[in-house]
């Protein structure tokens, strides 16, 4: 009871804490403010047997020059990944590189990334944002896939439409997608609201992907889902080259990551970094206030 009340207090007061305090907490979730720091974390994870994907924090860019600069930074990261021989790819949010400006600017920037991805023999993940841009993101992904095969997108289990979207894409041949629950606040008319039903749909979509032999990145921290995923893999006798598990950097997994590796399952860690770390950190702390509580207790003891 006390811990629950303390965690609620943490959620309430964290946005009012000095940024230097929040940064001490955020360090668990954010791999620094520069690409060099992020790639150093990638190296450490690679040495432990994990793959990685990096994401520059930020979204809803409204400046054409800023969107171009973010695109150039991603291109430089591709070069660094190649030069350092890291097991790492890139995830981008369309709104970060021009979607809110125009589709033309967005496509131009993504095309540059596709060229660089092909040049460095790497992969590009196009993240899914709110339902307002689902159609646009799917269209972007389809355009990209015609140009370069090593590209993937994301589908969210809480959206009712995800089953239909997957079925439509399957008609165009094999592809690669990340399956997650979804984090954006969506209305009940288009999104499942209850955790149990979201979990059930997550597993339904995963079964569909497995049966259609679609490569799927299973992105969840829900331990109940993971137990069901293991059972599904066993039931359908799914080859380990047909899926991977994905987790956010810093989120506790109660030994499951090690368990994945022992089973020869691929694990990819999603590593965010950048100067826009604050808003992301507040969101992560609200989702998991236990982390903030542990760190603040330690700070007070010191």
- The pLDDT value given to residue 290: 57
Bridge-based pairing of strands 267-273 and 124-126 is unpaired
Mean residue pLDDT of the chain comes to 90
Exposure on the CB side of residue 166, measured as CA atoms within 13 A: 28
Catalytic, out of 28, 55, 125, 127? 127
CA dist 73 and 3 (Å) reads 42
CA dist 93 and 74 (Å) reads 12
Each residue's pLDDT tens digit, 202-219: 999 999 999 999 999 999
- Is pLDDT larger for residue 28 or for residue 226? 226
Q: Supply the pTM of this predicted model.
A: 0.89
CA dist 226 and 295 (Å) reads 27
55 is catalytic: no
CA dist 176 and 241 (Å) reads 12
Lowest mean pLDDT, pick from 10-19, 20-29, 231-240, 242-251: 10-19
For residue 120, how many other CB atoms are within 10 A of its CB? Answer: 18
b/e 140-154 (16+ beta carbons within 10 angstroms → b): bbeebbeeeebbbbb
- pLDDT(2) > 70: no
Each residue's pLDDT tens digit, 42-81: 999 999 999 999 999 999 999 999 999 999 999 999 999 9
298 is catalytic: no
Provide mean pLDDT across the span 238-261: 95
CA dist 283 and 140 (Å) reads 27
- The pLDDT value given to residue 302: 43
pLDDT band of 20, cuts 50, 70, 90: confident
CA dist 61 and 119 (Å) reads 26
CATH number of 34-271, picked from 3.90.650.10, 3.40.1400.10, 3.30.70.1880, 3.20.20.220: 3.20.20.220
Provide mean pLDDT across the span 190-205: 97
Each residue's pLDDT tens digit, 267-288: 999 999 998 887 777 766 666 5
Domain boundaries, the chain: 1-30+274-302, 34-271
Catalytic, out of 28, 145, 178, 268? 178
CA 76 to chain centre: 20
């Amino acid at each position: 009871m006390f811990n629950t009340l303390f965690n609620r207090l943490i959620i309430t007061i964290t946005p009012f804490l000095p940024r230097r305090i929040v940064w001490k907490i955020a360090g668990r979730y954010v791999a620094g403010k520069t690409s060099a720091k992020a790639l150093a974390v990638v190296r450490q994870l690679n040495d432990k047997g994990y793959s990685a994907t990096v994401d520059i924090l930020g979204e809803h860019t409204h400046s054409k020059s800023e969107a171009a600069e973010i695109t150039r930074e991603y291109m430089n990261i591709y070069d660094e990944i190649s030069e350092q021989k890291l097991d790492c790819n890139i995830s981008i949010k369309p709104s970060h590189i021009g979607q809110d400006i125009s589709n033309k600017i967005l496509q131009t920037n993504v095309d540059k990334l596709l060229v660089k991805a092909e040049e460095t023999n790497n992969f590009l993940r196009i993240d899914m944002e709110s339902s307002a841009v689902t159609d646009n993101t799917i269209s972007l992904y389809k355009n990209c896939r015609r140009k370069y095969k090593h590209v993937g997108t994301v589908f969210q289990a809480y959206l009712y439409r995800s089953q239909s979207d997957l079925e439509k894409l399957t008609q165009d041949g094999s592809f690669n997608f990340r399956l997650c629950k979804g984090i954006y606040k969506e209305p009940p008319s288009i999104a499942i609201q209850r955790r149990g039903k979201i979990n059930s749909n997550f597993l339904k979509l995963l079964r569909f992907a497995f049966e259609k032999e679609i490569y799927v990145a299973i992105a969840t921290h829900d331990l109940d889902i993971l137990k069901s995923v293991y059972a599904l893999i066993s039931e359908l006798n799914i080859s380990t080259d047909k899926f991977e598990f994905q987790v956010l950097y810093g989120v506790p997994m109660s030994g499951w990551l090690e368990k994945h590796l022992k089973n020869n399952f691929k694990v990819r860690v999603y590593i965010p970094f950048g100067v826009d770390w604050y808003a992301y950190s507040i969101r992560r702390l609200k989702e998991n206030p236990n982390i903030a509580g542990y760190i603040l207790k330690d700070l007070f003891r010191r």
